[in-house]
A = this chain, B = another copy of it.
Amino acid sequence: MTGAALVSGLDYAAVAVFALTGALAASRSQLDIVGFIFVASLTAVGGGTLRDIILDRVPLWVSDPVMLLVAAVAAVLVFLTAHLLESRYRALEWLDAAALAIAVPAGVGVALSEGMGWPVVLVMGMVTGCMGGLMRDVVCNEVPMVLKQGELYVTCAFAGALVAVALGAVGVAGWAALTACAAVVFVLRAGSLALGWRLPVYRSRPPRAPKR
Contacts and interface: CB of A to CB of B under 8 A. Distances in A.
A65 B119 contact: yes
Nearest to A53: B53
B119 A69 contact: yes
Interface in A192-212: 198-212
Interface string A42-59: 000000010001111011
Contacts of A134: 139
Contacts of A155: 32, 34
B138 A27 contact: no
B54 A59 contact: yes
A198 B31 CA distance: 11
B211 A34 contact: no
Contacts of A68: 119, 123
B142 A139 contact: no
B55 A200 contact: no
Contacts of A58: 56
Given A38-B154, A53-B54, A30 B202 contact: yes
A101 to B, nearest CB: 17
Contact of A201 (B30, B55, B202): B30
Nearest to A111: B62
B32 A116 contact: no
A149 B49 CA distance: 27
Contact of A146 (B33, B38, B210): B38
Interface stretch (A10-18, A79-87, A102-110, A170-178): A79-87
A205 B199 CA distance: 34
A35 B201 CA distance: 9
A82 B139 contact: no
24 contacts: A27-B204, A28-B211, A29-B149, A30-B202, A30-B203, A31-B202, A32-B202, A34-B154, A34-B155, A34-B158, A35-B147, A37-B154, A38-B130, A38-B147, A55-B62, A61-B119, A62-B116, A62-B120, A65-B120, A83-B204, A134-B139, A138-B139, A142-B211, A142-B212
